Amino acid sequence: MQELFFRGTPQLETERLVLRKITPDDADDIFEYASDDEVAKYVTWDTHKSVDDTRNFINFILGRYERDEAGEWGIALKENGKLIGTIGFTAYSVKSRRAEIGYVLSRKYWGQGIMTEAVNRVLKFAFEDMGLNRIESLHVLDNEKSGKVMQKAGMSFEGIIRERIYFKNKFWDAKQYAILRSDWLKQQNHNDNPSEGAGIGIMKQFPILEFDPAREAVIEPGKVIKPIDIPERCVICFFKEVIDGVAERNKLQVITELKSECGVVPVYKMETDRGSIAVFNPFVGAPNAAGMLEEVIARGCNKFIACGGAGVLNKDIAVGHLIIPTSAVRDEGTSYHYLPPSREVGANAHAVRTIQNVLEKHGVKYLTGKTWTTDALFRETREKVALRKSEGCVTVEMECAAFLAVSKFRNVIFGQILYGGDDVSGIEWDVRGGTSRKSIRERVFDLAVECCLEL
């Protein structure tokens, strides 16, 4: 194994970039992007309040060059030589052959793949020339753009480290990503021989974390399901007896069917004095419900309100009390195929506000809060209930996180109304007759219809 030495910071190149040493002449360019408010939110070095601050930062980097410390490169565009960012090793261990990588990029160049390109080039240098075995990277929790760069570079999310970063006079929790030399070599082998080890580029420690951002799947709904004449607004209602009752009163017309091995689910058209909406009663559980949402989107619906029941994690939430999920903890599997791994997924702000407006207009009391989406109703243990309560969850159900993930991936509007049913917060399960409250369920459906018409 090559000995770990720096002996200066060599110039590195990519298709669009030159990674070179930073010089005093770069002060104006660095100050231009580092003093931007959006960039400064995440820059952990001293705030660049003036060009003099930036010159002090450059002098610090020049001192590192002189001491042969961890490399620090300026990211310059090949086309005009303009410096648009920096990238380098914030720390490294010779004994452990491990380093931590950090980077900053001008906001003008976000979303163009530039930082991913720079990170990949530095990883190549670290593993091939420095002889490193592990590269780590950290970002504060709300800096998801940085997390996406790490994922695109093949780094794996390893967990949240509490109060790992200190800057702006505060301790911050951080997400840690890392890549091993062995991981990187597998990726290079796949790039050189794509038919060998296909998929290795997204391989993670656990399959559920292997998110593939490719927009098109082998079975792509938009290609196998033809659009039909269907209302753009749709209510997804988990109350079968309510849907059956409305159908029996001849207020629903079947316009299509969702077929599976479990049976046929009719999709209805419901006429109202404000226009028509689609209505269907999905199967319970994230995979089935999300798959049906996909099919209805492919047919032409793009604005959704779902209504259903939920277990409560607080006994003070009465049976029938309404809850509007503002986010969902992703303790199911389906959502991980639509969005990169994260602890929770947020709800559509417009949909949440629309539901609030309708409920307030009718004087209906409600809560807003986080819901816990699980795949396993028989594994809601006391320890898990306590954990979910500690992170702010007020309900538990089986579909919301998947619904939110599908709607974000397909860029459609989705909101949900839940009503408090059984209580799982105590030592013993309290059924509370949550599924037998027909009048409550009919009222929730009527409110969902009105909310959907308001979207």
> Is residue 216, in this structure, part of any structural domain at all?
no
Q: Which of 175, 209, 243 is the last residue of a domain?
A: 209
Query: Domain containing 283 — which CATH number?
Result: 3.40.50.1580
- The mean per-residue pLDDT over the stretch 252-257 comes to 96
- The mean per-residue pLDDT over the stretch 99-103 comes to 89
Instruction: Clarify whether residues 346 and 200 are in a common domain.
Output: no
Is residue 105 within 8 Å of 93, Cβ to Cβ?
no
Instruction: Clarify whether residues 21 and 113 are in a common domain.
Output: yes
Instruction: Clarify whether residues 232 and 165 are in a common domain.
Output: no
Using CA atoms in the order 187, 191, 197, 202, what is the torsion angle rounded to 10 degrees? Answer: 50
CA distance 430 to 312: 10
Q: What is the DSSP string of 235-269?
A: EEE--HHHHHHHHHTT-EEEEEEEEETTEEEEEEE
* Torsion sign (Cα): 323, 328, 329, 335: positive
Predicted confidence (pLDDT) per residue in 274-326, tens digit: 999 999 999 999 999 999 999 999 999 999 999 999 999 998 998 889 999 99
> Is residue 6, in this structure, part of any structural domain at all?
no
Is residue 58 within 8 Å of 30, Cβ to Cβ?
yes
* Residue-range definition of the domain harbouring residue 172: 12-209
Instruction: Clarify whether residues 129 and 253 are in a common domain.
Output: no
- The three-state secondary structure class of 390 is helix
Residue 64: phi and psi, rounded to 5, are: -65, -40
- The mean per-residue pLDDT over the stretch 97-107 comes to 89
Instruction: Clarify whether residues 125 and 176 are in a common domain.
Output: yes
- Please report the pLDDT score of residue 46 as a whole number: 57
Q: Which of 148, 182, 209 is the last residue of a domain?
A: 209
CA-nearest of 224, 301, 308 to 270 is 301
Query: Domain containing 176 — which CATH number?
Result: 3.40.630.30
> Is residue 3, in this structure, part of any structural domain at all?
no
What's the total number of domains in the chain? 2
Instruction: Clarify whether residues 205 and 232 are in a common domain.
Output: no
Band of pLDDT at residue 385, cut at 50, 70 and 90: very high
Read off the tokens for 153: 């570079």
Residue 212, pLDDT > 90, answer no
CA distance 195 to 189: 10
Read off the tokens for 257: 């069917």
Instruction: Clarify whether residues 406 and 276 are in a common domain.
Output: yes
- 210 vs 137, 158, 206, 337, 438, CA distance in Å? 19, 13, 7, 8, 42
User: What number of CA atoms fall less than 13 Å from residue 147's CA on the CB side?
Assistant: 17
> Is residue 351, in this structure, part of any structural domain at all?
yes
- 143 vs 209, 336, 345, CA distance in Å? 19, 19, 15
- Please report the pLDDT score of residue 50 as a whole number: 78
Residue 1, pLDDT > 50, answer no
> Is residue 129, in this structure, part of any structural domain at all?
yes
Read off the tokens for 99: 């380093």
Instruction: Clarify whether residues 280 and 336 are in a common domain.
Output: yes
Is residue 247 within 8 Å of 268, Cβ to Cβ?
yes
> Is residue 392, in this structure, part of any structural domain at all?
yes
Instruction: Clarify whether residues 142 and 54 are in a common domain.
Output: yes
- Please report the pLDDT score of residue 301 as a whole number: 97
> Is residue 214, in this structure, part of any structural domain at all?
no
Read off the tokens for 57: 């930062």
Instruction: Clarify whether residues 225 and 350 are in a common domain.
Output: yes
Instruction: Clarify whether residues 294 and 344 are in a common domain.
Output: yes
Read off the tokens for 370: 């986080």
Read off the tokens for 64: 């590192």
Residue 450, pLDDT > 80, answer yes
Instruction: Clarify whether residues 97 and 65 are in a common domain.
Output: yes
Strand partners for 70: none
Residue 62, pLDDT > 70, answer yes
CA distance 212 to 379: 28
> Is residue 110, in this structure, part of any structural domain at all?
yes
Residue with tokens 């799947």: 217
Predicted confidence (pLDDT) per residue in 325-377, tens digit: 999 999 999 999 999 999 999 999 999 999 999 999 999 999 999 999 999 99
Band of pLDDT at residue 89, cut at 50, 70 and 90: confident
Q: Which of 155, 185, 209 is the last residue of a domain?
A: 209
Residue 198, pLDDT > 60, answer no
CA distance 431 to 238: 18
Q: In what side-by-side order are the strands of the sheet with 12-13?
A: 12-13, 17-20, 72-77, 83-93, 98-105, 134-140, 170-180, 156-167
Band of pLDDT at residue 2, cut at 50, 70 and 90: very low
CA distance 368 to 16: 47
The contacts of residue 93 (CB under 8 Å, 6+ apart) are 99
* Torsion sign (Cα): 199, 204, 206, 208: negative
Read off the tokens for 213: 């951002």
User: Can you give the pTM of this predicted structure?
Assistant: 0.61
